[in-house]
Amino acid sequence: MLSAAARFSLYYSVMARTYKIEVCLGSSCFSRGNRDLIKSIKDYLRKRHLEERVNFRGARCLDRCSSGPVIMIDGDIIEDVSVSNIEKILDTHLM
């Protein structure tokens, strides 16, 4: 059984975790709808009060042009991202 201090330390390390989300801003991803995707991600973060725990930014082309829009979460590249599947993707990676 963990001591109270160990439980608090474990809880704090999990709750204080930060994430990095990058959205490809290349022309192919842009033409495939990353503008709507960016809005959806911002709305998701705001609704779940995650804005302080997520470093959200644009990225140069991620060289997956035929599979865009593309995002990267903590180094994992996710292809074929859309407004219809972004919540499930974020739930999987951030929760």
Q: What is the pLDDT of residues 51-93, one digit of tens each?
A: 999 999 999 999 999 998 999 999 999 999 999 999 999 999 9
Share of the chain above pLDDT 90, in %: 75
Q: Give the span between the Cα atoms of 86 and 71, in whole angstroms.
A: 10
Residue 69 · residue 23 · CB < 8 Å: yes
pLDDT at 17: 81
C-alpha span between 79 and 46 (Å, rounded): 23
Is 13 a member of any domain? no
Q: Which residue range forms the structural domain that includes residue 86?
A: 18-94
Decide if pLDDT at 11 tops 70. no
Instruction: Decide if 29 is inside a domain.
Output: yes
The pLDDT mean for the chain works out to 88
- Number of domains the chain contains: 1
pLDDT confidence tier of residue 16, bands split at 50, 70 and 90: low
Q: What CATH number did the domain enclosing 34 receive?
A: 3.40.30.10
Q: Rounded distance, CA 26 to CA 8, Å? A: 43
